[in-house]
Amino acid sequence: MTSTSQIRMFGAQWCGDCRRTKAQLDELGLAYEYIDLEHDPAAAKVAQEISGRTRIPVLLYPDGTHQVEPSNADVEAKVRELLLSD
């Protein structure tokens, strides 16, 4: 796994939680890489290796931590933590 300075989000358009989380990241104006599992099925294995689960969305943060199916509050708290640690 390569380190990145931005969030990586693994998701799919048919997933309501993915659409909600993607909209939240957009609203927050955050740079992130969106990996569409419908267009890149091999990435589903990467997401599962990161999370140990088959649930999406999976968010991988620059500090190496991840969240699976996070609530908006979970994402906001993690983003705030990352911004404070910069």
Residue 3 has pLDDT above 70, yes or no: no
What does the alpha-carbon distance between residue 86 and residue 81 come to, in Å, rounded to a whole number?
9
User: What is the SS3 assignment for 36?
Assistant: strand
Q: Please, what are the domains in the chain?
A: 7-85 (3.40.30.10)
Helices and strands in the chain: count of H runs, count of E runs: 3, 4
pLDDT tens sequence across 29-86: 999 999 999 999 999 999 999 999 999 999 999 999 999 999 999 999 999 999 876 6
> What pLDDT is stored for residue 1 in this prediction?
35
pLDDT band at 2 (very low <50, low <70, confident <90, very high): very low
